[in-house]
C-alpha cells in the first residue's frame, strides 16, 4: 500500500474538513443572529417594564376618578332627592 505524500490529502478527509468548516460558519451565523435577538429582547423588556409601571399609575388615576365621580353623583342624587321630598311636602301642605 503506497503511503500518501504530505501534500496530498484523501478526498474523504478533505470533504469532512470542508463540511466541518461550513458547519462552524453556519453556527457562527446563527450565534450572531441569536445575540442580536437577545439584545432586541432586552430592549423590549426594558420598555415593557416602564410601560407596566405607567399602566399601573393610569389604573390608579382611573380608579380615583371613578370614585370621585361616584361620590359627586351620590351627593347630587341625595341632594336632589331630598329637595324633591321637601317640594312634595310643601305641595301636600
| Secondary structure of residue 4 in the 3-state scheme | coil
pLDDT value at residue 49: 97
pLDDT value at residue 22: 95
**Which of 40, 63, 27, 35 is CA-nearest to residue 48?**
40
Provide the whole-model pTM: 0.52
H/E run at residue 67 = helix 11-92
Domain ranges of the chain: 17-78
Q: Which stretches of the chain drop beneath a pLDDT of 50?
A: 1
The grid cell for 24 is 462552524
pLDDT value at residue 64: 97
Is residue 10 within 8 A of residue 16, CB to CB? The reply is: no
Amino acid at each position: 500500500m503506497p503511503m500518501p505524500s504530505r501534500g496530498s490529502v484523501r478526498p474523504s478527509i478533505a470533504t469532512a474538513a470542508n463540511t466541518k468548516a461550513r458547519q462552524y460558519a453556519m453556527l457562527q451565523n446563527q450565534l450572531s443572529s441569536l445575540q442580536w435577538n437577545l439584545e432586541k429582547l432586552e430592549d423590549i423588556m426594558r420598555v415593557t417594564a416602564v410601560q407596566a409601571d405607567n399602566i399601573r399609575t393610569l389604573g390608579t388615576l382611573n380608579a380615583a376618578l371613578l370614585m370621585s365621580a361616584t361620590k359627586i353623583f351620590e351627593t347630587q342624587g341625595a341632594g336632589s332627592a331630598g329637595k324633591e321630598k321637601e317640594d312634595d311636602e310643601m305641595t301636600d301642605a
